[in-house]
Structure 1
Amino acid sequence: MNNNGKTSTPVTVIGLGLMGRSLAAAFLAAGHPTTVWNRTAAKAEGLVADGARLAPSVADAVKASPLTIICLTDYSAVNGLLADDALDLSGTTLLNLTSGDSAQAREAARWAEQRGVRYLDGAIMAVPPSIGTAEAVILHSGPQADFAAHEATLAALGTASYLGEDPGLASLYDVAGLAMMWSVLNAWLQGTAMLRTAGVDAVTYAGFARLMAAGVAEWLPGYAEQIDRGEFPAEVSALETDVRAMDHLIEESEALGVNAELPKLFKAMADRAIAAGHGGEQYPVLIEEFAKPGPA
């Protein structure tokens, strides 16, 4: 029973690393009867003390609930765990929250389909302490009906986002988000290194950097429309103008004794686009360069 006196759906969590334990704890806190299993049973002790049931085997864990969450180190571990043909998965929907790539997710979905198993793939865009709060975004992809059947239960973990039927979408969004994260952080570190040469500390620059990042984020919807149309009119600035600013960034970095590899990478891609005849178009035309394989 949950805090409102209503019966909650039982859930199983397989894999009790830091993230797995956080997932199980969130289900317990939301009132879901929670079964757990881990190769090292001692990791379940705190959860058992809080009301979880420790299953003696994977088969028992899967049979205990209509929804089984798998959160292991990698897909090889998942494959090894589920390789036993005698393992009966017919009564549960598998939600695999193990980190991997889109090809692995699609292969796992094919494996499940061949065995008549309901399967969703997912990605956790959060750190363990935020699980169970709205700030924790959990991405899901796979059959919409299977997600809908468990959406209310999955809300215990945070913000449950459904991306589409392609089981590889969650993994793709995950790595696309990492590209955003590292790009923003690396650009901030570049600027921080430059300003430190003038005695400006990172805390002071961080406020200005946040304003810049927020301003650039406002451009994204309009730029996305240009990409989807395949038309890049220079409404704000032409790429050939942006390249001159890139030269300035490179020159200033080198003059200050700061690493200029990152801005040189920006400029190398822009130079290729200009050489291909796109100098008079707007910055999103660089999507054509990002869509190509990199230099061998």
Structure 2
Amino acid sequence: MNKPSVTVLGLGLLGHAVARTFLDAGHPTTVWNRTAAKADDLVAAGAGRAADPVAAAQASDLVVLVVLDQAAAGELLAAMGETLAGRTVVNLTNGTPEQARELDTVVRGFGARYLDGGVMAVPPMIGSREALILYSGAADAFAEHRATLDVLATPDFVDTDPGTAALYDLALLSAMYGMFGGVYHALAMISNAGIKTTEFGPRIETWLQAMLSVVREGAEEVDSDHFATDVSNLAMNDLIFPNFFAASEELGVRTDFLEPHRRLMAEAVAAGYGGDSLMRVVTLLRRPPGNVSASD
């Protein structure tokens, strides 16, 4: 049985991995990149090289964009224009929810269907079950092409609003970067203390895995707007936070990642939320502190 053909436009690290994975899975794959030489090894492996974006779109019913930014994606869509009619566009380019909605409008204007994708993986993970790609937009297009998209990563259709995948993507990445900020600071402290970070790293991993158990409980607190706790409240954490700064200063470590957290905790305590859990900080981020009601 012949597998559906696929077109991939954009052959950076991620785009190249996407095209290679389709090709290795037996899908006839057409590729296009502004710098044509980036497609040479894929063409040598059996991919078709499109002369321009229009020819690339004509080659397949499933057109996948993996370009630098949403401006570049918009330019490609404009170049392909009515050629997209009847096709499905999958945009794996990182962007904002509103950008995804704008591109959805453009694609539907050309008579095509749009799926926005949030890639929760680095390029070497593409093609593995550990990789996850979030999709939102045209549900019928996702159902039709799910088997093809499945070769890239575990597919997760999250909503018919085309902006939801981008929202989830950025929210998940913000959690990752926040966690890494703490990891950076911890490793800087340990390294400046003259201890091998390779010896301490496993302790960080074990500790963070244990602490991740609070995420679901915290989400319930946010949804219920109830932050009472008898475990570790904001006032207690605010009291000990100066120790992080004193120890960091002694070790010659910058406190860039700690300072915003310290300010938010101090602001929450000053607003009367000292008895609440750390998750109360979410409400300070979500709306002006003056509009937040203190817990009973």
Aligned position for 2:222: 227
> Any conservation in 2 of the 1:143–1:165 contact (CA below 8 Å)?
yes
Match of 2:206 among 208, 211, 214: 211
Q: Is contact 1:246-1:263 (8 Å) kept?
A: no
Going from structure 1 to structure 2, the CA distance change for 1:86 and 1:9 (only over 3 Å counts) comes to: closer
Give the alignment partner of residue 267 of structure 2, picking from 267, 272, 275: 272
**What does residue 163 of structure 2 align with?**
168
Map 1:85-164 to 2 at 5 A. Answer: 87-164=82-159
Gaps of at least 5 residues in structure 2 are 290-296
- Which residue in the other structure is 1:81 paired with? 76
Deviation string 1:195-217 (CA, Å, 9 cap, x unpaired) is: 23432121111011111110111
Would you say the 8 A contact 2:77–2:107 is kept in 1? no
**Counterparts of 2:256 and 2:45, CA distance in 1:** 51
Question: Post-superposition shift, 1:283?
Answer: 1.0
Conserved? CA contact 1:192–1:201, under 8 Å: no
> Residue deviations 1:30-59, cap 9 Å, x none?
111111122232222211111111223322
- CA drift of 1:84 comes to 4.0
- Counterpart Cα distance in 1 of 2:30 and 2:255: 52
Match of 2:293 in 1: none
Q: Which amino acid letter does the alignment assign opposite residue 21 of structure 1?
A: H
Deviations 1:152-189 (Å, cap 9, x if unpaired)?
Answer: 10011111122211211222222222222222222122
Instruction: Indicate the residue corresponding to 1:183 in structure 2.
Output: 178
Using the alignment, how far apart are the partners of 1:85 and 1:243 within structure 2?
Answer: 56
- Residue in 2 aligned with 1:53? 48
Is the 1:59–1:87 contact (alpha carbons within 8 Å) kept by the matching residues of 2? Answer: no
CA gap of 1:245–1:41, structure 2 versus 1, over 3 A, is: same
Q: Report the Cα distance in structure 1 between the residues aligned to 2:2 and 2:25, rounded to whole angstroms.
A: 11
Aligned length: 289
Deviation at 1:115, TM superposition (A): 3.2
Cα pair distance change 1:77/1:161, threshold 3 Å: same
**For structure 1, which segment, 196-205 or 143-152, has the greater mean C-alpha deviation from structure 2 after superposition?**
196-205
What is aligned with 1:12? 7
The whole-number CA distance in structure 2 between the counterparts of 1:206 and 1:86 is 51
Gaps of 5+ in 1: 1-5
The answer to whether the 8 Å contact 2:70/2:93 transfers is yes
The residue that corresponds to 1:3 in the other structure is: none
Query: Tell me, what secondary structure is at the counterpart of 1:286?
Result: helix
| Residue 44 (structure 1) aligns with | 39
- AA aligned opposite 2:228: P
- Residues 209, 50 of structure 1: alpha-carbon distance in 2 compared, 3 angstrom cutoff: same
How many Å separate the matches in 2 of 1:193 and 1:40?
40
Quote the Cα distance in structure 2 between the aligned partners of 1:53 and 1:84. Answer: 19
CA RMSD of aligned residues (A): 1.9
| Separation in structure 1 between the aligned mates of residue 170 and residue 117 of structure 2, nearest angstrom | 12
The CA deviation at 1:91 is 2.6
Q: Report the more deviating stretch, 187-196 or 67-76.
A: 187-196
Give the distance between the partners of 2:35 and 2:250, measured in 1 at CA.
55
More moved, 190-199 vs 279-288? 190-199
Q: Distance in 1 between matches of 2:43 and 2:83?
A: 25
Matched-pair identity in %: 39
Output the amino acid matched with 1:204. E
In the TM superposition, residue 86 of structure 1 has moved relative to its aligned partner by 5.3
Match of 1:31 in 2: 26
- TM alignment of 1:55-74, pairs within 5 A: 55-74=50-69
Counterpart of 2:129, as a letter, is A
Q: Say whether 1:260 aligns with 2:219.
A: no
- Tell me if the contact between 1:95 and 1:122 (Cα under 8 Å) persists in the aligned partners: yes
Residue pair 1:239, 1:280 contacting (<8 A) in 2 also: yes
Aligned to 1:281: 276
